[in-house]
Amino acid sequence: MSNPKDNKDEYVKKQTVLVVGIIAFILGFMGGTVFTLYKTPTDATVQAPETHQHDMNKQDMQMEIAAKILKLEKWTSEKPDDTTAWIELGNSYFDSGKHEKAVEAYKKALEINPDNAEVLTDMGVMYRRTGKPAEAVKAFDKAIAVDPRAEIARFNKGIVLMHDLNDVESAIKAWEELVEINPVAVTPSGQSVEKLIQNFKKTE
């Protein structure tokens, strides 16, 4: 098996999508799933003529990710100290919707290198998707402690506090701290974080 480190070009990091435009981060992360914790619209436009081809492409992607997971699982069992492999395995689980397994893989990576803000941020997202918002906030806080300029962690923290824990005051504070770091920070939809803060303050 090839070393997972040799495949890093095929892995598009997810951590840099959420605050797209904050510092010109544009990563089409994680197989097309924008790393946003922002609420997404529930309606969708169905394009019937493209459905079959889309489904085929999606199936191909799923098979590719499944094959990659098998290789990485084998590799990490043989090379348990390979941080990069654990991170890639976590990312692959992330992409395939195996949220709890992603958390476990990220934990393995953090046992080797606890000061990885990007992994801590991704783990926070996975905690949120497994229904553990309080753990998600803890992971984001750890990411911020490691890297005070961890803008994505700060934005995500606000989203979880706002939408999952109903703590509007703390959410606004998290976003205000983000704006202190980057006054031109924007949400994935292109709205300025400053404007987002003002909108929520009006509804308090």
CA angle 67, 25, 68 (to 5 degrees): 5
**Rounded Cα gap, residues 183 and 115, in angstroms:** 26
Residue 85 lies in a domain: yes
Residue 47 lies in a domain: no
| pLDDT tens, position by position, 7-49 | 433 333 444 333 333 333 322 222 222 234 432 222 332 233 3
- Say if CB 61 and CB 53 are below 8 A apart: no
| pLDDT tens, position by position, 108-154 | 999 999 999 999 999 999 999 999 999 999 999 999 999 999 999 99
Cα end-to-end distance, the chain, whole Å: 56
- Say if CB 44 and CB 51 are below 8 A apart: no
Residue 51 lies in a domain: no
Residue 84: pLDDT band with limits 50, 70, 90:
very high
Name the β-bridge partners of 36: none
State phi, psi for 186 to the nearest 5 degrees: -130, 160
CATH classification at residue 91: 1.25.40.10
**Rounded Cα gap, residues 3 and 144, in angstroms:** 31
**Rounded Cα gap, residues 71 and 61, in angstroms:** 15
- Say if CB 31 and CB 44 are below 8 A apart: no
Buried b (16+ CB within 10 A) or exposed e, 163-189: ebeebeebbbebbeebbeebeebbbbe
**Alpha-carbon distances of 154 from 124, 125, 130, 166, 169, rounded to whole Å:** 11, 12, 20, 16, 14
Name the β-bridge partners of 192: 186
Residue 48 lies in a domain: no
The pTM score is 0.73
Query: What was the pLDDT predicted at 51?
Result: 40
Residue 158 lies in a domain: yes
Number of structural domains (the chain) is 1
**Rounded Cα gap, residues 174 and 158, in angstroms:** 5
* Helix H or strand E encompassing 72: helix 48-78
Residue range(s) defining the domain that contains residue 71: 4-37+56-203
Residue 64 lies in a domain: yes
